[in-house]
Structure 1
Amino acid sequence: MSQQAEEFFNIANEAQGLARELAPGVTTRIFPGEQAMLSVVTIAPNGQGTMHSHPEEQWGLLLEGSAIRIQGGEEIAVSKGDFWRTPGGVPHTMKAGPEGCKVLDVFAPPREAYRRAGKGFASAT
Structure 2
Amino acid sequence: MSQASEFHNIDNPNDGLFRELGEGLTTRIFSGEQAMLSIVTIAPNSQGTRHQHLEEQWGVLLEGSAIRFQGDEEIPVKKGDFWRTPGGVPHTMRAGPAGARVLDIFSPPRPEYRKPGKGFAGG
TM-score band, normalised by shorter chain: over 0.9
**CA separation in 2, counterparts of 1:14 and 1:51?**
26
Percent identity, aligned pairs only, is 72
Question: Counterpart of 2:11?
Answer: 12
For the aligned residue pairs, the C-alpha RMSD in angstroms reads 0.9
**CA separation in 2, counterparts of 1:98 and 1:89?**
29
**Does 1:108 pair with 2:112?**
no
**Does 1:96 pair with 2:95?**
yes
Runs (4 or more) in structure 1 with deviation over 2 Å come to none
Secondary structure (helix, strand or coil) at the match of 2:112 reads helix
Superposed CA offset, 1:42-96 (max 9, x none)? 0000000000000000000000000000000110000000000000000000000
Q: Figure out how many residues of one structure are paired with residues of the other and give that number.
A: 122
Question: Counterpart of 1:39?
Answer: 38
**1:3: how far off?**
2.2
Instruction: Please tell me the residue identity of whatever aligns with 1:99.
Output: A
Structure 2, unmatched stretches of 5+, are: none
Secondary structure (helix, strand or coil) at the match of 2:113 reads helix
Question: Counterpart of 1:54?
Answer: 53
